[in-house]
């Protein structure tokens, strides 16, 4: 079924909910910290170190995260993050040693949240937009603030009424039940959309006489129709936006992708029109 609006906004909505739960699931440690401290009587610095250790784990995993998303796409990375965060929260009630706390709320929740937070979203979300990229990213990341306003009072009420262990169980189930199926709506590829149908030949926009989205003949082969290019492969050359050719069959590319990229550096190109959004 064809949506009445650009599918990229569905991706923004999914990212909004994902960061609202994924980021705040880790920062909810500030609410769990006092009851854990009261129950076990551990040193304050050692107990709080589990939260700091989670950031160290995030720093170590971040370089590999980008490579994994480039190779396997955002769907796998997001679902992996959901699984790690949910596992850490569901196992946290079993804690009775300090290293248990570091392994659950530190390694699992900290490592999983980096997949769901700003780092993971920034690797694919910009590929869905060009003209409204700033708006899309800001709307998606605003989920962190909205989520904290809604989630933290609820978590605190559960801690007061049933204890921190129950709060961890409920928060872990919430992350698993909501984010696991929701992120299946995300497109499997991180490349973003194909160009809008309005760039096809004979479209109303093309017929209106707007500048053609064509790389000049200096590239050889009579020019390259940028309508046959992926929106996520836009490149700024000589102060103007151009796009590299798509590799799908039926395009008007007369050279290999590598040779086109080498020639783009010296080409003078017209500014393309707007992509899908």
Give 195-241 as a 3 state SS string: CCHHHCCCCHHHHCCCCCCEECHHHCCCCEEHHHCCHHHEEEECCEE
Q: Indicate if 201 and 162 belong to the same structural domain.
A: no
Tokens of 28: 């909810």
Q: What's the pLDDT at 198?
A: 39
Percent of the chain with pLDDT over 70: 66
233 touches 260 (CB < 8 A): no
Q: What's the pLDDT at 64?
A: 85
Q: Would residue 277 count as lying in a domain?
A: no
Q: Indicate if 236 and 150 belong to the same structural domain.
A: no
Residue at a domain's end among 185, 210, 243: 185
Q: Indicate if 94 and 116 belong to the same structural domain.
A: yes
CA angle 27, 29, 35 (to 5 degrees): 155
Does pLDDT of 206 surpass 80? no
Number of domains in the chain: 2
Q: Which of 274, 277, 261, 276 is nearest to 224 (CA)?
A: 261
Q: Indicate if 16 and 55 belong to the same structural domain.
A: yes
Q: Indicate if 178 and 203 belong to the same structural domain.
A: no
Q: Indicate if 238 and 160 belong to the same structural domain.
A: no
Q: Which of 13-27, 54-68, 195-209 has the highest mean pLDDT?
A: 13-27
Q: How many beta carbons lie within 10 A of that of residue 45, not counting itself?
A: 8
Residue at a domain's end among 136, 153, 185: 185
Q: Would residue 2 count as lying in a domain?
A: no
Give the domain CATH number at 62. 1.20.1250.20
CA 57 to chain centre: 19
Distance CA 113, CA 63 (A): 15
Q: Indicate if 170 and 226 belong to the same structural domain.
A: no
Q: Would residue 190 count as lying in a domain?
A: no
Q: Indicate if 227 and 158 belong to the same structural domain.
A: no
Tokens of 6: 């650009």
Q: What's the pLDDT at 86?
A: 95
130 touches 277 (CB < 8 A): yes
Residue 5 — very low, low, confident or very high, per pLDDT cuts 50/70/90?
confident
Does pLDDT of 217 surpass 70? no
Q: What is the residue range of 54's domain?
A: 8-185
Q: Would residue 101 count as lying in a domain?
A: yes
Per residue in 250-265, pLDDT (tens digit) is: 444 444 455 555 555 5
Does pLDDT of 207 surpass 70? no
Q: Indicate if 39 and 169 belong to the same structural domain.
A: yes
Q: Indicate if 120 and 154 belong to the same structural domain.
A: yes
Q: Indicate if 140 and 236 belong to the same structural domain.
A: no
Q: Would residue 1 count as lying in a domain?
A: no
Does pLDDT of 139 surpass 90? yes
Does pLDDT of 124 surpass 60? yes
Q: Would residue 201 count as lying in a domain?
A: yes
- What is the chain's mean pLDDT, rounded? 75
Per residue in 13-38, pLDDT (tens digit) is: 999 999 999 999 999 999 999 999 99
């Amino acid at each position: 079924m064809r949506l009445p609006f650009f599918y990229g906004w569905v991706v923004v909505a999914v990212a909004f909910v994902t960061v609202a739960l994924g980021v705040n699931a880790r920062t909810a440690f500030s609410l769990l910290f006092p009851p854990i401290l009261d129950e076990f009587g551990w040193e304050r610095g050692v107990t709080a170190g589990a939260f700091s250790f989670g950031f160290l784990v995030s720093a170590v995993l971040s370089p590999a995260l980008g490579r994994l998303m480039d190779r396997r796409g955002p769907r796998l990375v997001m679902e992996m993050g959901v699984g790690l965060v949910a596992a850490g929260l569901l196992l946290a009630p079993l804690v009775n040693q300090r290293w248990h706390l570091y392994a659950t709320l530190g390694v699992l929740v900290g490592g999983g949240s980096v997949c769901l937070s700003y780092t993971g979203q920034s690797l694919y979300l910009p590929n869905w937009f060009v003209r409204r990229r700033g708006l899309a990213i800001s709307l998606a990341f605003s989920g962190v603030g909205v989520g904290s306003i809604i989630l933290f009072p609820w978590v605190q009420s559960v801690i007061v009424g049933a204890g921190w262990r129950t709060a961890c169980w409920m928060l872990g189930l919430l992350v698993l039940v909501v984010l696991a199926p929701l992120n299946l709506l995300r497109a499997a590829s991180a490349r973003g959309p194909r160009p809008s149908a309005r760039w096809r030949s004979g479209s109303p926009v093309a017929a209106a006489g707007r500048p053609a989205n064509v790389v000049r003949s200096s590239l050889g082969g009579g020019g390259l129709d940028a309508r046959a290019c992926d929106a996520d492969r836009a490149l700024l050359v000589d102060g103007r936006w151009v796009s590299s050719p798509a590799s799908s069959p039926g395009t008007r590319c007369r050279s290999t992708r590598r040779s086109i990229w080498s020639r783009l550096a010296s080409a003078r190109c017209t500014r393309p029109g707007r992509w899908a959004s």
